[in-house]
Amino acid sequence: MKVYKFGGTSVGTVERMKHVAELISESTPKIVVLSATAGTTNHLEEIAANLFNRDIEQAHEKITRMEFQFIDFANELLTDESTKREAIDYILDRFQRLWQFINDEFTSIEEKEVLAQGELISTALLHFYLRERKIANILLSAFDFMRIGPDGEPDMEYIEKHLSELIKKYKGIPLFITQGFICKNAYNETDNLKRGGSDYTASLIGAAINAEEIQIWTDIDGMHNNDPRIVKNTTPIKKLSFEEAERLAYFGAKILHPFCIAPARQKDIPVRLLSSIEPQAEGTLISKSQDDRIIKAIAAKDSIFYLKFESNHALRPYLFTSKVFDTFARYQTSLCLLTSSSTDISIATDNNEALPRIIRELSKYANVTVEDHMSIISVVGNMKWQYTGFEAKIMEALKDIPLRMISYGSTNNDVSVVVKTSDKKKALQALSNSLFEDKMLV
């Protein structure tokens, strides 16, 4: 069995949803994971914000507009009157839940219920359309098997057990439709896997059923060797190792959720990135195999804060290092990059929530420099230390760009630098021009 995941853009219009139905209608057994139709989650977030603020008039207007949009979608998608009536009744039932929040108390728990409606309605619409076309399929509720534990991490034992039981109930049915992103938490409350979580859902499902392959379908033809929105003449990458793909996703490649590689890697399940707009394109295959090409791709991560801690020698060097790390850990603030000497430490992070408290505590032991509006640029590939020349090539390409931080050696898969975000575009283009013209490196 395979797992197919389609993002919101892939089902954003009636024509695109019909196209997805064509892509999944062949007989290969599969579980299809669907995001909410394009723009839906953004609109639901706006409604939730209005409800939080008790801006009832705005919430009322937005709920009404969305309700009619989904009813129009169903009317255009479906032709059989009985199926159409069933679909519209389902939409009205989901929106009735939203209308209840107009007068009820509204907390973060209810907010997650609001956000869940997009996935629930979108998967139901695809289910009804397939049924109308006489394509046997089962609509599974992610709430029946997808759960996170008290620590916010997926409860794989629960997921495997309950998903297996559901599939066994429908022997002979080759096609299952379910929601990405949404789940239940350890207290049986509606929760979610955060933005981009549909990729993660697909990978967790793939690992739970030991899938033959996990396919992530988007609107571009695989992972590109640089950001096509910024850099000219990018090209798709045919093959990546799990480690390379994970680094690219973590450092800003938007096509893939950073967490979705780990479950697939643990079960050695290939992940294939494909385009729903160009289904004939080869896309990108991610697997455990590693080839000899040194440099594969470049990615950039924005909204970075750079911090430099220069010890005032109040603590011995080893105690100073421990104090810095312990403080970040206590405030649950992850580090994207780290470089250090015996007495000074530089850190790049994308989480600024607790930075004022961290800086206040560590100012007793260090002079602290903070810079925002920074970006991490990461060159990713098979960069074993025994290989020579690639580091010099990277630095030569960036010779005209101020570098705030350089990181290499923690893995064999990337060289990363921190630059001002205003220099990002220039840096990405310079690296592409230099690195991808050298056939020895790529």
**Predicted pLDDT of residue 313:** 93
Whether residue 208 is predicted with pLDDT greater than 70 in this model: the reply is yes
Q: 3-class SS at 33?
A: strand
C-alpha 177/C-alpha 124 separation (Å) is 8
Q: How confident is the model at residue 252 (pLDDT cuts 50, 70, 90)?
A: confident
Closest to 206 measured CA to CA, from 270, 288, 148, 127: 270
Q: 3-class SS at 382?
A: coil
CB atoms within 10 A of CB 254: 12
Whether residue 442 is predicted with pLDDT greater than 80 in this model: the reply is no
**Predicted pLDDT of residue 230:** 92
**Predicted pLDDT of residue 103:** 86
Closest to 365 measured CA to CA, from 324, 328, 311, 322: 311
Is the distance from CB of 285 to CB of 238 less than 8 angstroms? yes
Reported in sequence order, the residue ranges of 157-212 that DSSP labels E, i.e. its strands, are 175-179, 182-184, 190-192
Closest to 11 measured CA to CA, from 198, 273, 206, 260: 198
Instruction: Work out the average pLDDT over 176-189.
Output: 96
Closest to 147 measured CA to CA, from 191, 185, 109, 97: 185
Please state at what angle helix 424-435 crosses helix 390-397, rounded to 10 degrees: 140
Is the distance from CB of 372 to CB of 413 less than 8 angstroms? no
SS3 content of the chain, % helix, strand, coil (to 5): 40, 25, 35
The average confidence (pLDDT) of the chain is: 93
The region of weakest confidence among 111-120, 287-296, 351-360, 365-374 is 287-296
Q: What are the start-end ranges of the H helices in 78-184? A: 81-100, 108-132, 156-168
* Cα distance from N-terminal residue to C-terminal residue, the chain: 34
Whether residue 195 is predicted with pLDDT greater than 90 in this model: the reply is no
Is the distance from CB of 236 to CB of 283 less than 8 angstroms? yes
pTM for the complete prediction? 0.89
* Structure confidence by residue, pLDDT tens digits, 54-81: 999 999 999 999 999 999 999 999 999 9
**Predicted pLDDT of residue 256:** 86
C-alpha 16/C-alpha 19 separation (Å) is 5
Instruction: Work out the average pLDDT over 381-397.
Output: 86
Burial, 228: exposed, middle or buried (Cβ in 10 Å; 0-12, 13-18, 19+)?
A: middle
Q: Which helix (H) or strand (E) holds 69?
A: helix 56-77
C-alpha 127/C-alpha 140 separation (Å) is 10
Is the distance from CB of 84 to CB of 78 less than 8 angstroms? yes
Closest to 390 measured CA to CA, from 301, 277, 292, 265: 292
Burial, 406: exposed, middle or buried (Cβ in 10 Å; 0-12, 13-18, 19+)?
A: middle
Across the strands, what pairs with 347?
307, 338
Instruction: Work out the average pLDDT over 399-405.
Output: 95
Is the distance from CB of 247 to CB of 380 less than 8 angstroms? yes
The residue type at 202: A
Strands 344-349 and 295-311: antiparallel
Across the strands, what pairs with 214?
3, 271
Residue with tokens 């010890």: 311
